[in-house]
Amino acid sequence: MNFDEVYYEPDILNYELGKQLREQFKHLKWNEIESHNKIEQLQKSSNSDFVKLKRHLIIGTRKTHKYVPNFKISDFLVPYTSSGCSAMCLYCYLVCNYNKCSYLRLFVNREFMLDKIIKHTQKNKDEFVYEIGSNSDLILENTITGNLEWTIKNFANSPKGKLTFPTKFHQVDSLLDIDHNKKIIFRMSVNPNDIIKRIEIGTSSLDNRIEAINKMVDADYPTGILIAPIILVENWKSLYSELITTLSDKLSVKAKNTISIKIIFMTYSNIHRYINNDAFPTLPQLYDKELMRGRARGKYGYKDEIRFEAEEFLKQEINQKLANAKIIYIC
């Protein structure tokens, strides 16, 4: 990551991680801010500055710690050590939350956040799964902060609960030798290479992602694959068929026998359309009025009949080529 400037809340220098980041990025210009949530000079930027904004690194402390019940992959979405991301997937859900200010923000009060999760696990009878990666990509973040290594080491002996996070990045080597006690569920998101190159800008290649899955499975992390988001570009059938062939060819035998698969279709929005039109005028348009229909709050999803066809196609491909993998979720 090639950051150009840091914006920081002065209080971060009272934290061990804040001091570490200060040293790590001492060659950059540091701009003092009152709050990571309100950097007026950046908020006033135009949509066409989106790429420029992504090069800034914001560092603060997380003040709100509200857990959102989630009835899908995990039990709770938990705010954790970062939000935003320095990659630029054209459909990134974070753009709906942060608009053009979806740059990477790091929060240095990690001790407080992990301690709160551990206390939450103990207060409840149930064995909950906590999604810690819904606001950012933690594998990417970890290459700067080491927060995942720190989290896994400090959570492995928690008597209850599990943590999970998804990623589109492959840099997992530093996690492989940690004693994780199977309490961290790793989820790798995959897409056809052509979609990764043109739409998931700045993320890892498909081959690197598959290699990371094999490594995590070998290291005994519970591991899942997200085929996500499904994007119905013109030649989607041949692209997704090729993707599933590649998974079948390159996943290890152990991975193929143990992984679960979740399939998630793309949601797009007017906010994406405005920003992408101004910031990436030459890149593919993801909105397709023939295939999509409007939903609440300016969002779009694929029409039911189109989606149904794609679902059936993907299920058939997976059943043929990855016969032992279990599809546990389609949405």
Which of 39, 94, 310, 325 binds ligand SF4 (CB under 6 A)? It is 94
Chosen residue from 9, 131, 137, 317 binding ligand SF4 by CB under 6 A:
137
Identity of the residue, 121 or 145, whose beta carbon is nearer to ligand SF4 in the bound complex: 145
Under rule CB under 6 A, residue 78 binds ligand SF4: no
> Which residue, chain included where needed, has tokens 């598959």?
210
46: which 2 tokens? 């135009």
Cα atoms in the 13 Å half-sphere on the side-chain side of 26? 6
Site stretch for ligand SF4 (CB under 6 A), options 87-95, 233-241, 277-285, 312-320: 87-95
CB proximity list for 123: less than 8 A, separation 6 or greater: none
260 bridge partner residues: 224, 326
Residues in the chain: 331
Site track 162-181 with ligand SF4 (rule: CB under 6 A), x = hit: ------x-------------
Pick the closest to residue 157 from 186, 121, 200, 124 (CA basis): 121
Nearer to ligand SF4, 85 or 216 (CB): 85
Give the residue from 54, 53, 6 showing the smallest Cα distance to 32.
6
The one segment of 44-52, 89-97, 123-131, 285-293 that binds ligand SF4 by CB under 6 A: 89-97
Of the pair 95, 113, the CB lying nearest ligand SF4 is at: 95
- Taking the least distance from each CB to ligand SF4, the nearer of 147 and 203 is 203
Work out which of 42, 77, 92, 271 binds ligand SF4, going by CB under 6 A. 92
Dihedral sign for Cα 307, 313, 316, 317, please. negative
Stretch that binds ligand SF4, among 1-9, 84-92, 204-212, 311-319 (CB under 6 A): 84-92
Q: Which of 6, 57, 85, 213 binds ligand SF4 (CB under 6 A)?
A: 85
Report the C-alpha gap between 131 and 128 in whole angstroms.
10
User: Restricting to residues 186-225, which ones interact with ligand SF4 according to CB under 6 A?
Assistant: 200, 203
Place of tokens 């679902």: 311
Nearer to ligand SF4, 145 or 203 (CB): 203
Long-range contacts from 176-179, C-beta under 8 angstroms, 24+ separation: 176/215, 176/216, 176/218, 176/219, 177/219, 178/149, 178/152, 178/153, 179/153
Q: Where are the alpha helices (DSSP H) in 16-105?
A: 16-24, 40-43, 50-53, 94-98
Q: Which of 59, 89, 195, 227 binds ligand SF4 (CB under 6 A)?
A: 89
Binding site for ligand SF4 (CB under 6 A): 85, 87-89, 92, 94, 136-137, 168, 200, 203
